[in-house]
Chain A
Amino acid sequence: MGIKWNEILITGDPLIVGSQIAIVMTVIAIVGGLTYFKKWGWLWREWLTTVDHKKIGIMYILSGVLMFFRGGIDGLLMKAQTARPEMNFLDAQHYNEIFTTHGVIMILFMAMPFLIGLMNVVVPLQIGARDVAFPQLNALSFWLFFSGAMLFNISFVVGGSPDAGWTSYFPLAGKEFSPGVGNNYYAIALQIAGLGTLMTGINFIVTILKMRTKGMTLMKMPMFTWTTLITSIIIVAAFPIFTVALALMTFDRLYGTHFFTLSSGGSDMLWANLFWLWGHPEVYIVVLPAFGIFSEVIATFSRKSLYGYKSMVISIVGIALLSMLVWVHHFFTMGAGPAVNSVFSITTMLIAVPTGVKIFNWLFTMRKGRIKFTTAMLWSLGFIPNFVIGGVTGVMLGMAAADYQYHNTLFLVAHFHYVLIPGVVFAVFAGLYYWWPKMFGFMLNEKLGKYHFWLFNIGFNVTFMPMFFLGLQGAVRRAYTYSAESGFAPLFLVSAIGSIILALGFAVFCYNIYWSFRYAKRNVSSDPWDARTLEWATASPVQFYNFAVLPEVKELDAFWHMKKRNSGLVLKEEEIEEIHMPSNSGLPFYMAVVFGITGFFLVFEWHIAAAVAAIGIVIGLIIRSFDYDDGYHVTVQEIKNIESKWRKVEGGVKHHVG
């Protein structure tokens, strides 16, 4: 196989050596800690083998926090490098690697797991189900995602990071111009994580279509469930395209085929088309669930039913359809011709219509509402003006003729950060503050939350607003430095200062998690926000079977009306029946390990080793095929015990609306 041992570990760069030492220390600390506190068994039984959608959701969210750190550090490094003209903090190659990993990690390993994590925790509860349709597949989804994420993350210390941008355009990303293993990491790690995401999509479509509780018709579903359904459909329609694109990239790089090469008839534009055929829907895959979160939070804290529910549903379906028809707007300047550009320009601008409908619906939901300014609500309020800036600049970019001016400048970078940070990150924070008590049984501190919000919001605007103007002045994206004569220096410096404020905001969030974990009041009621949907009708934190008796739904905002009528809230003991639950399984974790090992060998093009490791995958599939474990039953007595614990404490069940 010709292994070059001396090229495996990256050496020489002090930043990277520092990271290597930090990683080794952290691993020693974790392993040592788990051994010292005798927590290995607990970790295996409660987390690594769990098929409980709530725990899987929490693991997704924790991964999201971790990846936010990694992607955030990448961002800060870029800001440090461009703070002053002609800095030598990072060289060009290192800068290329960092903007590449920043993009990939923030989209695929930060935004996606945060949102899929919240979907996992909340959606089965909102539809009154005991779990998702395929609990073990759900665990496999998480572990494949995690495996892909870890494989991607080790690239910067083992073998070298990908450096062709998160879009990895050919011919740059091909073997000819990027001979190292970095872009192999991109092709293979994203493939593994993408498999997990596709399975999540299938799982949630079936769950939402088939497992809604009695009486919950489609048009009585909470908005977050609606957005999850539509998102899942987009996942199933778009991710296979990425699967193919990455597979073809792998073949081009590893086996010398000619899909995207310049020679022998390949077409580099084919990559750009395939990438964005997935990539644009991907934007809506992250932003639609976020819209769902805002819908829940705004309705709850305006103390009103969501305004224009039907138009909301029509809008998300419309956005989903249009999301498949706009991909060319990512490369207007690549010479598709005026007719093609015009078509995609129009479809792009059409998306502003359903999005505008949604913005107005949120505003009308708040109108005449008795608004409570909780932290979750602040994030939702902050979202609206910031996102509108992102949306309006998007329409500017969508005008194909004008795009020639904005293309490839920091104006574009500012635009998509104005879409993705308010549209996704604000939503994730809103969702975390909102659902935190449901996940853990205690609230995040509201006062710290407000510091978090203001620092983050101000830091975000100070960082990215100057980039609009830099872009209009001609500062190109992905350039590692600029000259003093360009006149860019003051705005770049402001932007760098903003990024520090932004980072402080995130630090307050992390401190808030720590503080609340240590000191926050336990025994919060099952419904601390006086909310409207079914997830609040059961205990906080939620017992493993979710509902002792599945609730029956008569209208939208079912729980709100149950409280208003004071019906369906008291558990009648004679109605309790045995509950059938799925067993834990170590197989998903095992699959993540063998996929990770196989992927790692493929990255280094050790084909024989990869083939041997792939046998492990086949063995896993065979074990699964012969697995007839049918789960277990929870006895009525056990359910009664668990239920009486949370229902008897003060404020356990609310019988009224505030």
Chain B
Amino acid sequence: MSANVNTSLPLEYQTEQSRLNILGFWIFLGAEIVLFSTLFAVYGVLGERYAHGPTPNDIFKLKDVMIETLLLLTSSFTCGLAVFEMRRHRLKGLLTWLIVTLLLGFGFLFMEINEFIHYVHEGATMQTSAFLSSFFILLGTHGAHVTFGIFWAVMIIIQLIQRGLTPVTARKTFIISLYWHFLDVVWIFIFTFVYLKGMVG
């Protein structure tokens, strides 16, 4: 609460409230890890219960999944570049890389939604089998997080344009970068334990 400003720290850590917010967000990410772990556990239990419906080999298309993966991994890299620019106090570079990040994220989302529509057309809906229920909920939760992240980042971009780089906008940018990297990490697990294991294992 107090305006205990320490200018020797990076912009996002300068005020006491910012330090509290960033720690709080790390703990929130801890809760998110539990949340996704639970969803992975559910998928682990139900992932091979096909109930005479399609199996991963019937529906997954590795090429599309690879493109999605590349888009999301790259977006995480550009998000890192954005924070790097922020540390150098370059608003323009920060905004550019943030927008690139969001475009990549949007591309990922577009591909994922297309993938889902494709599955539904093939008759693989979340009502078909326990495998597909857990598949759609795990990926859907991740996709919903990405969607939420895109809207959230747009809010922050507007605030960066309105207010420039301040300790508060810097903290907000830093926090969403943590969120974005986290979603990337979750995707790596999805890619491994859902797609690769489903098609190769």
- Establish whether residues A202 and B46, one from each chain, have CB atoms under 8 Å apart when the complex forms: no
- For chain A, the count of residues having a C-beta within 8 Å of the partner chain is 48
Tell whether B155 is near chain A: CB-to-CB under 8 Å.
yes
Kindly provide the distance from the CB of A214 to the nearest chain B CB, expressed in whole angstroms: 13
Q: In this complex, what residue of B is CB-closest to A618?
A: B151
Cα A243 to Cα B137 in complex, Å, equals 13
Q: Which 9 A-B pairs have the closest CB atoms?
A: A265-B49, A265-B130, A257-B133, A240-B35, A265-B51, A240-B34, A264-B51, A244-B38, A256-B127
Which A residues are CB-close (under 8 A) to B134?
Answer: 259
Given A206-B20, A259-B42, A270-B45: A236 in contact with B129 (beta carbons within 8 A): no
Given A236-B30, A626-B159: A255 in contact with B127 (beta carbons within 8 A): yes
- Establish whether residues A210 and B133, one from each chain, have CB atoms under 8 Å apart when the complex forms: no
Given A131-B1, A248-B42: A265 in contact with B31 (beta carbons within 8 A): no
* Interface of A (DSSP majority class): helix
Kindly provide the distance from the CB of B120 to the nearest chain A CB, expressed in whole angstroms: 13
Cα A244 to Cα B50 in complex, Å, equals 22
Extra pairs beyond A206-B23, A240-B32 (7, CB < 8 Å)? A210-B20, A251-B133, A257-B136, A258-B51, A274-B42, A582-B1, A626-B159
- Establish whether residues A205 and B127, one from each chain, have CB atoms under 8 Å apart when the complex forms: no
Which B residues are CB-close (under 8 A) to A342?
Answer: none
Which A residues are CB-close (under 8 A) to B30?
Answer: 236-237
A sample of 18 inter-chain contacts (CB < 8 A) reads A130-B1, A206-B20, A206-B24, A209-B23, A210-B20, A236-B27, A244-B38, A247-B137, A255-B126, A258-B51, A258-B127, A259-B42, A264-B127, A264-B128, A265-B51, A270-B45, A277-B38, A582-B1
Tell whether A267 is near chain B: CB-to-CB under 8 Å.
yes
B24 in complex: contacting residue of A202, A239, A580, CB < 8 Å:
A202
Kindly provide the distance from the CB of A129 to the nearest chain B CB, expressed in whole angstroms: 9
Tell whether B179 is near chain A: CB-to-CB under 8 Å.
no
- Establish whether residues B23 and A210, one from each chain, have CB atoms under 8 Å apart when the complex forms: yes
CB-CB contacts below 8 Å: B115-145 with A: 126-131, 133-134, 136-137
CB-CB contacts below 8 Å: A531-566 with B: none
- Establish whether residues A265 and B129, one from each chain, have CB atoms under 8 Å apart when the complex forms: yes
Cα A209 to Cα B32 in complex, Å, equals 20
B42 in complex: contacting residue of A135, A198, A270, A582, CB < 8 Å:
A270
Which A residues are CB-close (under 8 A) to B199?
Answer: none
Tell whether A6 is near chain B: CB-to-CB under 8 Å.
no
Residue-wise interface mask of B (138-177) relative to A, using a CB-CB cutoff of 8 A (1 in contact, 0 not): 0000000000000110011001000000001000000000
Cα A221 to Cα B64 in complex, Å, equals 54
Which B residues are CB-close (under 8 A) to A203?
Answer: 24
Kindly provide the distance from the CB of A628 to the nearest chain B CB, expressed in whole angstroms: 7
Tell whether A107 is near chain B: CB-to-CB under 8 Å.
no
Cα A257 to Cα B134 in complex, Å, equals 9
Which A residues are CB-close (under 8 A) to B128?
Answer: 264
Tell whether A625 is near chain B: CB-to-CB under 8 Å.
yes
Tell whether B19 is near chain A: CB-to-CB under 8 Å.
yes
Cα A131 to Cα B16 in complex, Å, equals 14
Cα A265 to Cα B136 in complex, Å, equals 15
- Establish whether residues A133 and B127, one from each chain, have CB atoms under 8 Å apart when the complex forms: no
- Establish whether residues A210 and B50, one from each chain, have CB atoms under 8 Å apart when the complex forms: no
Kindly provide the distance from the CB of A268 to the nearest chain B CB, expressed in whole angstroms: 11
A267 in complex: contacting residue of B19, B45, B127, CB < 8 Å:
B45
Cα A130 to Cα B24 in complex, Å, equals 18
Interface contact tally, CB-CB below 8 A: 119
B168 in complex: contacting residue of A134, A265, A628, CB < 8 Å:
A628
Tell whether B3 is near chain A: CB-to-CB under 8 Å.
yes
Which B residues are CB-close (under 8 A) to A256?
Answer: 126-127
Interface residues of A (CB under 8 A from B): 130-131, 133-135, 198, 201-203, 205-206, 209-211, 236-241, 243-245, 247-248, 251, 255-259, 263-267, 270, 274, 277, 580-582, 618, 622, 625-626, 628, 631
CB-CB contacts below 8 Å: B14-59 with A: 19-21, 23-24, 27-28, 30-32, 34-35, 38-39, 42, 45-46, 49-51, 53
B38 in complex: contacting residue of A240, A257, A266, A581, CB < 8 Å:
A240
Cα A156 to Cα B45 in complex, Å, equals 35
Which A residues are CB-close (under 8 A) to B131?
Answer: 265
Kindly provide the distance from the CB of B28 to the nearest chain A CB, expressed in whole angstroms: 6
Given A257-B133, A270-B45: A622 in contact with B127 (beta carbons within 8 A): no
Kindly provide the distance from the CB of B141 to the nearest chain A CB, expressed in whole angstroms: 8
- Establish whether residues B34 and A202, one from each chain, have CB atoms under 8 Å apart when the complex forms: no
- Establish whether residues A257 and B137, one from each chain, have CB atoms under 8 Å apart when the complex forms: yes
Cα A203 to Cα B3 in complex, Å, equals 20
Tell whether B2 is near chain A: CB-to-CB under 8 Å.
yes
Cα A501 to Cα B183 in complex, Å, equals 55
A264 in complex: contacting residue of B27, B130, B137, B151, CB < 8 Å:
B130
- Establish whether residues A257 and B20, one from each chain, have CB atoms under 8 Å apart when the complex forms: no
Which A residues are CB-close (under 8 A) to B133?
Answer: 251, 257-259, 266
Cα A270 to Cα B136 in complex, Å, equals 17
Given A206-B27, A264-B129, A626-B155: A270 in contact with B46 (beta carbons within 8 A): yes
Q: In this complex, what residue of B is CB-closest to A203?
A: B24
Cα A113 to Cα B28 in complex, Å, equals 21
Q: Which one of B3, B30, B38, B51 has the greatest number of beta carbons of chain A within 10 Å?
A: B38
Cα A625 to Cα B156 in complex, Å, equals 8
Which A residues are CB-close (under 8 A) to B130?
Answer: 258-259, 264-267
Q: In this complex, what residue of A is CB-closest to B156?
A: A625
Which B residues are CB-close (under 8 A) to A237?
Answer: 30-31, 34
Which B residues are CB-close (under 8 A) to A626?
Answer: 155, 159
Cα A267 to Cα B42 in complex, Å, equals 10
Q: In this complex, what residue of A is CB-closest to B45?
A: A270
Which A residues are CB-close (under 8 A) to B20?
Answer: 133-134, 206, 210-211
Which A residues are CB-close (under 8 A) to B21?
Answer: 134
Cα A123 to Cα B128 in complex, Å, equals 50
Which B residues are CB-close (under 8 A) to A236?
Answer: 27, 30-31, 34
Cα A133 to Cα B50 in complex, Å, equals 47
- Establish whether residues B155 and A622, one from each chain, have CB atoms under 8 Å apart when the complex forms: yes
Q: Which one of B30, B31, B127, B159 has the greatest number of beta carbons of chain A within 10 Å?
A: B31
Which B residues are CB-close (under 8 A) to A134?
Answer: 20-21, 24
Which A residues are CB-close (under 8 A) to B50?
Answer: 265
Which B residues are CB-close (under 8 A) to A266?
Answer: 46, 49, 130, 133
Kindly provide the distance from the CB of B124 to the nearest chain A CB, expressed in whole angstroms: 13
- Establish whether residues B129 and A258, one from each chain, have CB atoms under 8 Å apart when the complex forms: yes
Residue-wise interface mask of B (97-129) relative to A, using a CB-CB cutoff of 8 A (1 in contact, 0 not): 000000000000000000000000000001111
Kindly provide the distance from the CB of B77 to the nearest chain A CB, expressed in whole angstroms: 26
Q: In this complex, what residue of B is CB-closest to A211?
A: B20
Kindly provide the distance from the CB of B108 to the nearest chain A CB, expressed in whole angstroms: 21
Kindly provide the distance from the CB of B47 to the nearest chain A CB, expressed in whole angstroms: 10
- Establish whether residues A205 and B126, one from each chain, have CB atoms under 8 Å apart when the complex forms: no
Which B residues are CB-close (under 8 A) to A243?
Answer: 35
Cα A299 to Cα B166 in complex, Å, equals 48
Q: In this complex, what residue of A is CB-closest to B53?
A: A264
Q: In this complex, what residue of A is CB-closest to B158?
A: A626
Q: In this complex, what residue of B is CB-closest to A624?
A: B155
Q: Which one of A240, A243, A265, A277 has the greatest number of beta carbons of chain B within 10 Å?
A: A265
